[in-house]
Structure 1
Amino acid sequence: MSRQVLNAVFPLLKAEWMLSDAQLGSLSGIVALMVGVLTFPLSLLADRWGRVRSLVLAAVVWSLATLGCAVAASYGQMFLGRFMVGVGEAAYGSVGVAVVISVFPATLRATLSGAFIAGGAFGSVLGVSIGGVIAQHLGWRWTFAIMGLFGLVLAAVYSVVVTERRLARACREQGNPPGAQGPVRSLLPRLFSSVSVRCAYIGSGLQMFLAMSLLAWMPSYLDRSYGLSTDKAGLVAGIFALITGIGMIGGGLVSDRLGRRGGRHKWTLAVLCSTGSLVLLGIGFQLPTGIGQLLLIGGGTLLSNATAGPAAAMVVSLTPPAVVATSMATLTLANSLIGLAPGPAVTGMLADHIGLHAALGVIPFVSLGAALAFALGRRHYAADLLPAAPAAPRTKTELPT
């Protein structure tokens, strides 16, 4: 919500400060850039310093930065505020999902990861919708102010409800260490050392490329192809965003259910979701406009990022528990560099040359690469699983008599 609320006040900022579209885009892009650049080092620090403290500090930083946006008097001041929003958000996603999955059984990892990541899709809809209403009635500054204050309240509540001691106790009950233990340099190579984990990063990033391209360009597509007004196009596009979030949660639920029969089934599900999104979207964008096309696009959207939960569960199972936040940061980095950043931009460049309709018909083919990556990961998964911890040696009193 704090990240996407800016989009709701673009027209007001453009009119008041006479900003170009490039300047408006930079105010949005700087957040994603900071998240991509800083998520890995800040998550590594969080594994060492304390995850709860890190989450509270991150939420306070981006909430104060959002309040700073409310009092910004120029483009430069707004840019600085958005820069700090990105700094605050950089470690939150990876550390947050690490906290969530560490206090629940391993059989729920995909469900919890998918639900946590889906919060971004739901938050995008709420940030734009609520922000637009507030800006219309109270002005754009109150939009940032209310979001910032809301974030500070949540940070305060979290700091009281969740403590490092309580988290450590819950982690021990599930057999998960609460943070990095032992030499970090000996653990970090496992973030990239296996074929399976690299395939999980690549497959997840490619599916994120597709999902984020759809989220970014669906309002424009509905405007140009269906003749919808801006408000109606935004509303319908919001429904597609909700469908994306539902797919993330559903993919996690199904993955965990299948995972009880064996870890390889999660990879199979990811392959099927990638292939399904390619088929449904590829056919959908070839059809003439109408309800049939929208239903196929909706089905493809549902599957487009249903791999998020399974991919996160794969990464967790393939990396050391003590640096799970850092492994989630690596996944976030892959999603950002492969999907979040280039997806909408590449689609826009294609649209300049072949038209938006044709461009949206081409981008689903990235799912073919994702399906191949997940299939390769499935092939190597059993061999790449973390070895079981060696049994503790028996003491003399434990030796059989």
Structure 2
Amino acid sequence: MRLGETAETRRLLFKGTIKETNVGMQATAAMGERYAQTPTVSRAYAWCVFALTFGLLLADYMSRQVLNAVFPLLKAHWSLTDTQLGSLSSIVSLMVGLLAFPLSILADRWGRVRSLFFMAMLWSLATLGCAVSANYGQMFAARLFIGVGEAAYGSVGLAVVLSVFPAHLRATLSGSFLAGGSFGSMLGMALSGIVAAHLGWRWSFVTMAVFGFVLALIYRVVVTEQRIAPGHMTGSRATGTRPPFAPRELARALFASKSIVFAYLGCGVQLILPGALFVWLPSYLLRAYDMPLDRASVVAAIFVLTSGVGLVVCGMLTDRISRHHPARKWMMAIVYCVISGAAFAVAFQLPPGNLQLTLIGVGMLVESGVCGPTGALVAELTPSRIHGTAMAIWALANNLLGLAAGPVIIGMLADRMGLHAALELIPLATVVSTLLFVAGRRLYSRDVARPAG
């Protein structure tokens, strides 16, 4: 009888129709929420919200990655070391990691849409500040404020997107939305390299700043809190009350399922790869292949575009394979780690050439694929009312462990052993991320099997 009850409970859990099978569901119920909410907007408007929020994410990463395309020019202009160049990139991800959590809490209470608008205005203004920087110190300060503006955009923007679509699309949406980082990086690298080659590096920053300003104003007019989810997004405007904010309840809801910690950590460590490669590929192509700046920027942008396509494909594949078997999200994350690690390990043992470029492309295709399954797991294991905050914890791990650490680590190693030798070491990160996902998968099974009460 007990075995029958357990099987039935697990069947219902996989359908998403019960709230209290495991500890995570109990935390959700304790906060007075359903496990999954029904979208309150039309499908057409939902896709409009996605398009505009995705567009701002493009602007976010275009402003962030414009620097990478002009690395050689800044290195020569200010006589910078590779460590200094890496720090100009890493400071953005560092600020994102440090501030994503507190700013996402504020956005959940103050209004997510309004918060996204002010974030975009701030990072665009800071990008304009990069254009007028006179030395390394001023550029570092401007890049710091880009990080402040971008800190909570990924987590809050994804929470907005997930709120207007059904739950069974979460991995696809998480992967597709975060692919904006790759597409934005691609556009930022390609356009900035071309603009810098013809007009100078300062105009590259001006171009990205103007794009951000214009898109932020359009977003503010079209997307509103009331239309997205009255009574759910902030609570204050629609019902006159604020969502409950008790630190103990918030902590219980965020970490009720033990496996979610390994989702955070595994994804963060895996993102050391894109964090390093997005930043250093243009310089690597310049040094190893003797490409001119504009061509190196375009080729690197194609690789980054490959990563973005991989995010979308991996997210869709994860949703398809795990729709009726949620635990398969963990297995898909493991597969993406293993494939990317193997591809890069072989690629950077080879001399420059077509085979090496092909293997780099294979690795780029799946290196960020873990974002789809882990984003879906974070949304699954936390209440929708605090999705912005939960995604901020995810963003914190992604940025501090991966996107911030990758560029500066490779820069420090490159100063000592050369860029090619430094890149040979990055597949080691996939070994760690794989082990973390294996541990998370085992704990997830226990979380699901644990009876309520």
Task: Please give the TM-score of this superposition, normalised by the length of structure 2.
Answer: 0.76
Q: Tell me the residue number matched to 1:214.
A: 277
Counterpart mapping for 1:15-164 below 5 A = 18=78, 20-21=80-81, 25-72=86-133, 76-164=137-225
Counterpart mapping for 1:312-323 below 5 A = 312-323=375-386
- Rate the CA distance shift 1:180–1:367 in 2: closer, same or farther, 3 A: farther
Q: Tell me the residue number matched to 2:15.
A: none
Could you give the per-residue CA deviations for residues 255-278 of structure 1, whole angstroms, max 9, x where no partner exists? 111121211111111111111112
Shift of 1:53: 0.8
Q: Tell me the residue number matched to 1:192.
A: 255
- Rate the CA distance shift 1:146–1:47 in 2: closer, same or farther, 3 A: same
- Rate the CA distance shift 1:180–1:30 in 2: closer, same or farther, 3 A: farther
Contact 1:320 1:386 (8 Å CA) reproduced: no
Q: Tell me the residue number matched to 2:267.
A: 204
- Following the alignment from structure 1 to structure 2, what is the Cα–Cα distance between the partners of residues 226 and 136? 18
Match of 1:232 among 295, 301, 319: 295
Contact 1:247 1:306 (8 Å CA) reproduced: yes
- Following the alignment from structure 1 to structure 2, what is the Cα–Cα distance between the partners of residues 354 and 180? 54
> 3-state SS of the aligned residue for 1:3?
helix
- Rate the CA distance shift 1:34–1:388 in 2: closer, same or farther, 3 A: farther
- Following the alignment from structure 1 to structure 2, what is the Cα–Cα distance between the partners of residues 233 and 161? 37
Contact 1:252 1:310 (8 Å CA) reproduced: yes
- Following the alignment from structure 2 to structure 1, what is the Cα–Cα distance between the partners of residues 421 and 199? 40
For 2:244, give the aligned amino acid.
Answer: G
Shift of 1:143: 3.2
Match of 1:374 among 437, 448, 453: 437
Moved more, 249-258 or 279-288: 279-288
Q: Tell me the residue number matched to 1:346.
A: 409
Moved more, 145-154 or 301-310: 145-154
For 1:143, give the aligned amino acid.
Answer: S
- Rate the CA distance shift 1:254–1:387 in 2: closer, same or farther, 3 A: same
Shift of 1:296: 2.4
- Rate the CA distance shift 1:116–1:56 in 2: closer, same or farther, 3 A: same
Counterpart mapping for 1:265-276 below 5 A = 265-276=328-339
- Rate the CA distance shift 1:78–1:290 in 2: closer, same or farther, 3 A: closer
> 3-state SS of the aligned residue for 1:363?
coil
For 1:35, give the aligned amino acid.
Answer: V
Contact 2:263 2:374 (8 Å CA) reproduced: yes
Counterpart mapping for 1:166-315 below 5 A = 166-169=227-230, 181-185=243-247, 186-315=249-378
Contact 2:189 2:300 (8 Å CA) reproduced: no
- Following the alignment from structure 1 to structure 2, what is the Cα–Cα distance between the partners of residues 152 and 30? 22
- Rate the CA distance shift 1:320–1:24 in 2: closer, same or farther, 3 A: same
When the two chains are superposed, the root-mean-square deviation of aligned CA atoms in Å is 3.0
Shift of 1:371: 1.4
Q: Tell me the residue number matched to 2:51.
A: none
Shift of 1:90: 0.8
Shift of 1:375: 1.7
Task: Please give the TM-score of this superposition, normalised by the length of structure 1.
Answer: 0.85
Contact 1:135 1:141 (8 Å CA) reproduced: yes
- Following the alignment from structure 2 to structure 1, what is the Cα–Cα distance between the partners of residues 445 and 382? 13
Contact 2:263 2:377 (8 Å CA) reproduced: yes
- Following the alignment from structure 1 to structure 2, what is the Cα–Cα distance between the partners of residues 213 and 111? 25
Structure 1 spans left out of the alignment, 5+ residues: 391-401
For 2:245, give the aligned amino acid.
Answer: P
- Rate the CA distance shift 1:180–1:86 in 2: closer, same or farther, 3 A: farther
| Count, aligned residues | 385
- Following the alignment from structure 1 to structure 2, what is the Cα–Cα distance between the partners of residues 76 and 346? 20
Shift of 1:59: 0.9
> 3-state SS of the aligned residue for 1:261?
coil
Shift of 1:15: 6.3
Q: Tell me the residue number matched to 2:13.
A: none
Structure 2 spans left out of the alignment, 5+ residues: 1-61
- Following the alignment from structure 1 to structure 2, what is the Cα–Cα distance between the partners of residues 286 and 8? 25
Contact 1:4 1:128 (8 Å CA) reproduced: yes
Shift of 1:292: 2.8
For 1:262, give the aligned amino acid.
Answer: H
- Rate the CA distance shift 1:219–1:59 in 2: closer, same or farther, 3 A: closer
Shift of 1:352: 5.0
Could you give the per-residue CA deviations for residues 252-305 of structure 1, whole angstroms, max 9, x where no partner exists? 111111121211111111111111112222233334443333322321221111
- Following the alignment from structure 2 to structure 1, what is the Cα–Cα distance between the partners of residues 415 and 69? 25
Contact 2:66 2:204 (8 Å CA) reproduced: yes
Higher relative contact order at CA 8 Å, sep ≥6: structure 1 or structure 2?
2
Moved more, 225-234 or 207-216: 225-234
> 3-state SS of the aligned residue for 1:20?
coil
- Following the alignment from structure 1 to structure 2, what is the Cα–Cα distance between the partners of residues 12 and 220? 11
For 1:106, give the aligned amino acid.
Answer: A
Moved more, 101-110 or 2-11: 2-11
Contact 1:207 1:274 (8 Å CA) reproduced: yes
